[in-house]
Homo-oligomer: A and B are copies of this chain.
Amino acid sequence: MARQATRVAQRVAVATEVLRDEKFNARRIELAEAALETLGELGFARTSLREIAQNSAFTHGVFHYYFSDKLDLICCCVRHYKAKCVTRYDEVVTSAQSRDELTEGFLAKLAATLQDEARMHRLWYDLRSQAMFEAAFRKDVLEIDKSLEAMIWRIASRYAELGGTRPASSPAALYALFDGLFQSALLKHLANDDRAIPELLDEVRRLLPTIC
């Protein structure tokens, strides 16, 4: 009887702790999301915790309650960003029934991404560059890079499959190519070059049949 009671008490204690943990984690993500807004606006170099706090519903002290320091916060941001980013084209890949359909779906998403999420993507490139200086970022960044490479590979494989062929390049080369093209287009787009998006689409449209 007493034994059962303590067991129940234990279970309750564990349950409440799990609940607290979940709540804690949810808040962390909320804060990370707020931080991403400001980071996307200003870039890593110019973003301070106070600036982040001011552009959000929180005060600057909270961030030190939920994160051990600034790097911890930004690592959390990067990891959170990843989850959103990596699945962007999956719906197109699984639903497309022909090369044309896949191509058009991919290009449309590509254009929309460049148009609507330029800020998040320039932040990604910023943080990836930071990882070259700051070892603390490297693990997460390399992991995301791998995920993005896999994402591109899924598209290329499906494209090849729909034509009964196999991709003509390695996953690394394909990712490098698309990433390079996207990065360059993003910079031009941000410099108010209206040709950036159409040129990127043309390039990709031309490339897909030759390399996949």
Contact = CB atoms under 8 A, between A and B. Distances in A.
Report copies per complex.
2
Contacts of A172: 181, 184, 199, 203
Interface residues of A, number: 44
A125 B133 contact: no
Contacts of A122: 129, 132-133
Contacts of A134: 43
Interface of A: 42-46, 122, 125-126, 128-135, 138, 141-142, 145, 168-170, 172-173, 175-181, 183-184, 186-188, 190-191, 199, 203, 206-207, 210
Q: Lowest 8 A-B CB distances belong to which pairs? A: A176-B180, A180-B180, A45-B45, A122-B132, A43-B133, A176-B181, A126-B129, A177-B177
18 contacts: A44-B45, A46-B133, A126-B132, A131-B187, A132-B187, A132-B190, A135-B191, A138-B191, A141-B187, A142-B187, A168-B210, A170-B203, A173-B203, A176-B179, A176-B181, A176-B184, A177-B177, A180-B183
